[in-house]
Amino acid sequence: RKEVEQDPGPFNVPEGATVAFNCTYSNSASQSFFWYRQDCRKEPKLLMSVYSSGNEDGRFTAQLNRASQYISLLIRDSKLSDSATYLCVVTAGGGADGLTFGKGTHLIIQP
Amino acid sequence: GAVVSQHPSWVICKSGTSVKIECRSLDFQATTMFWYRQFPKQSLMLMATSNEGSKATYEQGVEKDKFLINHASLTLSTLTVTSAHPEDSSFYICSAKEGTILYNEQFFGPGTRLTVL
């Protein structure tokens, strides 16, 4: 069983639409959760941390469900510049803070 | 934000040679650095965790004698791929964390693309 599972997509979405991604993680000891964004052949960049209470940053909303081990990301009013691969990331748990990455969900915003 | 650099950006080498990749934190002291690699269409995989002044902790399946990690200062960690082979061709990315607080944000370098012929 993969540690962090995501739908790889691609998701083709018209500009201005709302799109949501999900991921599930297998390690119940994971303590911290993140969404990263990775552009083609570049390093990942932190988009936002994810909390159980849910958190919002502009057009982006993230949610964590610890009971179901499920993380979501919602993007509203999508822009062309949102086209990227979105990586669901959790910490390894057990006192280690190396990151465990999902394979990513590829998002393409179409004009 | 904090800046992490990597050098070289890309390298092409012959099979059997050793390649050293440098990771530097430019404007903060990195107590802990991490090395990841990413094969095409795969997720980033943690290779090892390196704390300044101590031996690196390697993930299961990563050969410590093949991937030598040195973290001699608070701003520099190096990864040496010894006797590289074509299957070692990958995108190697480091990240650095400031301080000792667990789960502090990690800042990623731009990565090094290694191609072994």
Q: How far, in Å, CA of B87 to CA of B114, rounded?
A: 10
Tell me the sheet residues that pair with B57: B49
Q: Chain B within 8 Å of A4 (Cβ-Cβ)?
A: yes
CB count within 10 Å of CB B104 equals 15
Please give the full DSSP string across chain A, using - where no structure is assigned: --SEEE---PEEEETT--EEEEEEE--TT---EEEEEE-TTS--EEEEEE-TT-EEETTEEEEEETTTTEEEEEE-S--GGG-EEEEEEEEEETTEEEEEE---EEEEEE-
How far is residue B91 CA from its own chain's centroid? 10
Give the per-residue pLDDT at A94: 61
pLDDT of B102 higher than 60: no
For the stretch A12-70, pLDDT in tens is 999 999 999 999 999 888 888 999 999 988 889 999 999 888 899 999 999 999 999 99
Q: Chain B within 8 Å of A90 (Cβ-Cβ)?
A: no
pLDDT of B68 higher than 60: yes
| Residues in chain A closer than 8 A to B104 (CB atoms) | 97
Task: State the smallest CA–CA distance between residue B36 and chain A in angstroms.
Answer: 9
> Which residue type is seen at B60?
Q
Q: Chain B within 8 Å of A77 (Cβ-Cβ)?
A: no
Give the per-residue pLDDT at A59: 97
Give the per-residue pLDDT at A22: 93
Model confidence band, residue B97 (pLDDT cutoffs 50, 70, 90): confident
| Residues in chain A closer than 8 A to B46 (CB atoms) | 92, 98-100
For the stretch A70-98, pLDDT in tens is 999 999 999 999 999 999 999 876 666 78
- CB within 8 Å: A101 and B97: no
Q: How far, in Å, CA of A56 to CA of B56, rounded?
A: 36
Closest chain B residue to the Cα of A33, Cα to Cα:
B103
Give the per-residue pLDDT at B14: 96
CB count within 10 Å of CB B95 equals 24
pLDDT of A8 higher than 60: yes
Give the per-residue pLDDT at A51: 84
Name, of A3-12, A71-80, B22-31, the range with top average pLDDT.
A71-80
Give the per-residue pLDDT at A52: 83
Q: How far, in Å, CA of B7 to CA of B102, rounded?
A: 27
Pairing state between β B10-13 and B112-116 = parallel
**A101-105 average pLDDT score:** 93
Give the per-residue pLDDT at A41: 82
| Residues in chain B closer than 8 A to A101 (CB atoms) | 36, 43-45
pLDDT of B106 higher than 70: yes
User: Best residue in A4, A32, A43 to probe B by mutation, most B CBs within 10 Å?
Assistant: A43
The DSSP symbol for B86 reads G
pLDDT of B40 higher than 90: no
Question: In the structure encoding, which two tokens stand for residue B68, read together?
Answer: 């030598």
pLDDT of B100 higher than 80: no
pLDDT of B1 higher than 80: no
CB count within 10 Å of CB B53 equals 10
